[in-house]
Structure 1
Amino acid sequence: MPDRSPSPPTRRVVEVISLLTAAPEPISVAGIADRLDIARATATAILAELDSAGWVVRDPNRGYAIGPTLASLGNSALPQGVGDILTALTTRTGCGATLSRIEPDRLTVLDVRHGPDRVVPGIPVGHRIPLRFPAGASVMPWRAATEQNTWLAAAPDSDRRTASTLLALVRERGVAVFRPLADDAGMVDLLADLLGAMGPELRQPHLRTRVLRQLAALTSRPYTKTELDSDTTLPLSYLAAPVFDTAGSAAYEVQLGPLRATTTKPERDEYIAATLDAARSLTATMNSR
């Protein structure tokens, strides 16, 4: 497939940075070249420039990882301790977690922490998602009425009533909880395992985007109050809770991704409790700056 990027060299730099940002361990030049399907000489040249700027570092085994300069740029808006809270959440639950900034038109991933049992599939730091139902549901009850109305109006007609009910439930319980669409649990597991194995290393960015979009479509049915309170074993996609900034605005969202085909009520309750605890800790950290 021809490269449709307006600046292929720039795109390759972005892909290298995205790959290293999301990688759980350093990657060699050969590994980077193979995973991004670029020439080894190209990867070497890009890494040399990034290394000289402090954006990447090379370990004793010749693997590359994100360097202190880039790390400080990426986390400049986040106070110290945010990463530790997300790591504690992943340790407690075994699931991957993210922190995102919520703007009127989009959600931007600020930090990603992979869990010991399940990684955050295919979502690198800097990944942006349009703020359309159901994305942003956890913060929307605390946003301005104009934002709520825009968000509700953008929902498909078939989801309009669901969206309104979801906002009321999130305001009451402080968390949004989602499940796969009916009978999709097997497909969700397949897509999650694919992205868990390849994730941000999928060679074709457009393919990664398509798979992520399909995964989101299959995992974004909000639970109702009756379903959440049921003792029935149910699938669970992800949970999200608001994080408030120093002005008291729900400016961020912490998200936990179990992506499990079955969960008992005690398991769901623990995921909810862990997410809410992390959201409260993140809010306190944001307000301590």
Structure 2
Amino acid sequence: MIERTTGDTRAPIEDDRCASPPTRRVVDIVALLASAPEPLPVATIADRLDIARATATAVLAELDSAGWVVRVPRRGYRIGSAMAGLADPSLPPGVGDILAALAAETGCGATLSRISPDWLTVLEVRHGPDRVVPGIPVGHRIPLQFPAGAGVMPWRSASEQNAWLRTAPGADRHIAGALLSLVRDRGVALFRPRADDTGMVDLLADLLTAAGTELLQSNLRTRALRQLFALTSRPFTKAELDSDATLPLSYLAAPVFDGSGTAAYEVQLGPLRAATTTSERDAYIRATRAAAEAITAAARPRG
């Protein structure tokens, strides 16, 4: 802000050199809700921050979709659980460095996500030199439905496993149970595009990378991410993993265990390659598991 003098009245005006006003509004709304003892209506938020109600509504809708705020019917908005997770105190130091080393070794984007009973939430992202992880910002979350979370599900409780298996669509139910055993045996989940979708996967990934997800409208980004996930989320079968065939490879996910021994997080690697050899897939598996094991080791209590 700078001030302009008009007679005896000093009126604040916006300085074009200041930081982005839209970004400032997001920060102010989050800070206000974080300090509020109870949910606040849109009208109250707008009045306290001296912004238009339409602006407050638009910002809150975006924050709600990310889980940073939660709408309480007839009461307003409060801070969301995903917001606290962005600075999860249980995460060990050095996570970013481990993911950066994984991305540098493989040339692929790498992420760390927390797996809660209902959501997969991205906590850390490191882009690879060859292709950024398209559309996966910190704080992004998706419902925990098959096959999301497959990297940790074999080590979760029977009730969580059963609830997760029930989310599998009919066409995938015959492989859902087998996937749990396969991931437990291999220590990693691998996914590939669904049949004949490889070309569309490459197109979507390249478009998201070229445009930069920060530049896309929120609704378009969400639609593109959902479509990309749907196209790339067919789990590998044991026969495919044991074969010598050249196969497409979308993502890998390996479990990370917290200090209490719970499989609470996933390391995810995104090659998004239309063709990989057995040796290339094995190299991705080794690198992903090694990163997950390094984070697990860092999470262990120090004696």
The interval holding the TM-score normalised by the smaller chain is 0.7 to 0.9
Residue pair 1:179, 1:219 contacting (<8 A) in 2 also: yes
Residue pair 1:122, 1:198 contacting (<8 A) in 2 also: no
Q: 1:111 aligns with which of 120, 124, 128?
A: 124
Between structure 1 and structure 2, the one with the greater Rg is 2
Give me the identity figure in percent.
Answer: 69
1:45 aligned partner: 21
1:129 aligned partner: 142
Shift of 1:287: 1.4
Q: Does 1:276 align with 2:289?
A: yes
Q: Quote the Cα distance in structure 2 between the aligned partners of 1:196 and 1:112.
A: 15
Q: Quote the Cα distance in structure 2 between the aligned partners of 1:132 and 1:120.
A: 21
Letter of the structure 1 residue corresponding to residue 252 of structure 2: L
Letter of the structure 1 residue corresponding to residue 125 of structure 2: V
1:248 aligned partner: 261
Q: 2:87 aligns with which of 61, 70, 74?
A: 74
Shift of 1:51: 9.6
2:226 aligned partner: 213
Residue pair 2:122, 2:141 contacting (<8 A) in 1 also: yes
Letter of the structure 2 residue corresponding to residue 198 of structure 1: A
1:258 aligned partner: 271
Q: 1:187 aligns with which of 187, 194, 200?
A: 200
2:153 aligned partner: 140
Q: Please show how residues 26-105 of structure 1 align to structure 2 within 5 Å.
A: 44-46=20-22, 74=87, 76-105=89-118
Q: Quote the Cα distance in structure 1 between the aligned partners of 2:237 and 2:289.
A: 18
Q: Which moved more, 1:109-118 or 1:197-206?
A: 197-206
Change (3 A) 1:205 1:49: closer
Shift of 1:48: 6.1
Residue pair 2:150, 2:180 contacting (<8 A) in 1 also: yes
Q: TM-score under structure 2 normalisation?
A: 0.72
Shift of 1:45: 2.5
Q: Which moved more, 1:74-83 or 1:154-163?
A: 74-83
Q: Does 1:235 align with 2:258?
A: no
1:93-128 Cα deviation digits (max 9, x unpaired)? 000000000000110000000000111101110011
2:235 aligned partner: 222
Letter of the structure 1 residue corresponding to residue 109 of structure 2: G
Q: TM-score under structure 1 normalisation?
A: 0.75
1:26 aligned partner: none
Shift of 1:200: 2.4
Residue pair 1:239, 1:256 contacting (<8 A) in 2 also: yes
Q: Quote the Cα distance in structure 1 between the aligned partners of 2:285 and 2:114.
A: 20
Letter of the structure 2 residue corresponding to residue 44 of structure 1: S
Q: Quote the Cα distance in structure 2 between the aligned partners of 1:45 and 1:190.
A: 34
Residue pair 1:142, 1:250 contacting (<8 A) in 2 also: yes
Q: Which moved more, 1:117-126 or 1:74-83?
A: 74-83
Higher relative contact order (CA 8 A, sep 6+): 1
Letter of the structure 2 residue corresponding to residue 192 of structure 1: A
Change (3 A) 1:188 1:73: closer
Letter of the structure 1 residue corresponding to residue 20 of structure 2: T
Letter of the structure 2 residue corresponding to residue 88 of structure 1: A
- Count how many residue pairs are aligned between Structure 1 and Structure 2: 233
Unaligned runs of at least 5 residues, structure 1: 1-39, 56-69
Partner-residue secondary structure (3-state), 2:20: helix
Shift of 1:199: 3.6
Residue pair 1:189, 1:259 contacting (<8 A) in 2 also: yes
Residue pair 2:92, 2:295 contacting (<8 A) in 1 also: no
Partner-residue secondary structure (3-state), 1:232: coil
Partner-residue secondary structure (3-state), 1:189: helix
Letter of the structure 2 residue corresponding to residue 174 of structure 1: G
Letter of the structure 2 residue corresponding to residue 147 of structure 1: E
Shift of 1:230: 0.9
Q: Quote the Cα distance in structure 2 between the aligned partners of 1:272 and 1:218.
A: 21
Change (3 A) 1:42 1:131: farther
Cα RMSD after superposing both structures: 2.4
Letter of the structure 1 residue corresponding to residue 111 of structure 2: T
